[in-house]
Amino acid sequence: MASRQIPVHISQQFDKELNDLRANVLTMGGLVEDHLNRALTALSNEDFEAAEYVATHDYKVNAFEVEIDEECSRILLKRQPAAGDLRLVLAVSKTITDLERVGDEVEKVGRMALDLMGSDSPKSYYVGILAMGFHVKKMLHDVLDAFARMDSQAAFQVAQQDPQVDEENDAIMRHLITYMMEDPRSISQVLNAVLAVRAFERIGDHANNIGEYIIYFVEGKDVRHTSLQDIEQELKLSSKRT
């Protein structure tokens, strides 16, 4: 397992600032996870209260992003961090942007669930969508766990699931298009389902992005736009060096 801990600094206050920064990211991540859980509950159980909560409480996620971003700016200006400390602050800054965007996608799912309440859409529309939703929920949970431990191998395992999410997305889209072709009256409801599928697919992408930021912090290697095979090889080489 490749992981990295925050080094101890002469300034105990600096240590506290970096540890608080990580803790706040995890708190924000927990809030986003809670919203995603509520959205899935709204879809699976036609839970109006859960859907309404998700659709109207994204401002809490936004507030966290602003607060943590300000913390990053203060640390950069005051401490002028270098090496691993700088990578940590940059990884945090990018991570909260992706978490905020996950919040936006979850809000869309909540609004879509509200639109579907009481409709006569066949539940078969949503079986695959819910399975995909629970898949990306696990990805988000796992990548936040990897962030807590700063574990690059665990982060890579999340990234390995992204192609599977893309396959699920393609399969569900084909089914939804078939429904629309067979019954044009279903178009408006199916389009709502399409929005949910796209939202879940993007949540998977954002979880993958966070995994890449963890690898960047731990390994000092920017793996964005890099194939899974090349990332795996890089992690194997890094493991041998350590």
Domains (range + CATH), the chain: 12-241 (1.20.58.220)
**pTM of the full predicted structure?**
0.89
Number of other CB atoms surrounding residue 212 within 10 Å:
25
Q: Encoding tokens for residue 134? A: 């629970």
Given this model, what pLDDT does residue 215 score? 93
Given this model, what pLDDT does residue 186 score? 74
Q: How many CA atoms lie within 13 A of 156 on its CB side?
A: 25
d(CA 150, CA 233): 19
d(CA 140, CA 130): 15
Given this model, what pLDDT does residue 236 score? 73
Given this model, what pLDDT does residue 1 score? 46
Q: Which residues contact 55 (CB under 8 A, 6 or more apart)?
A: 107, 110, 111, 113, 114
Rounded to 5 degrees, what angle do the CA atoms 42, 44, 47 make?
35
Burial class of residue 53 in the structure, from the number of CB atoms within 10 Å of its CB (0-12 exposed, 13-18 middle, 19+ buried) = middle
pLDDT tens, N- to C-terminus, the chain (242 residues): 466 655 556 568 888 999 999 999 999 999 999 999 999 999 888 899 999 999 999 999 999 999 999 999 999 999 888 888 999 999 999 999 999 999 999 999 999 888 877 666 656 666 788 999 999 999 999 999 999 999 999 999 999 999 999 999 999 999 888 888 888 777 877 888 888 999 999 999 999 999 999 999 998 888 888 788 877 787 776 666 65
Q: Encoding tokens for residue 89? A: 């602050």
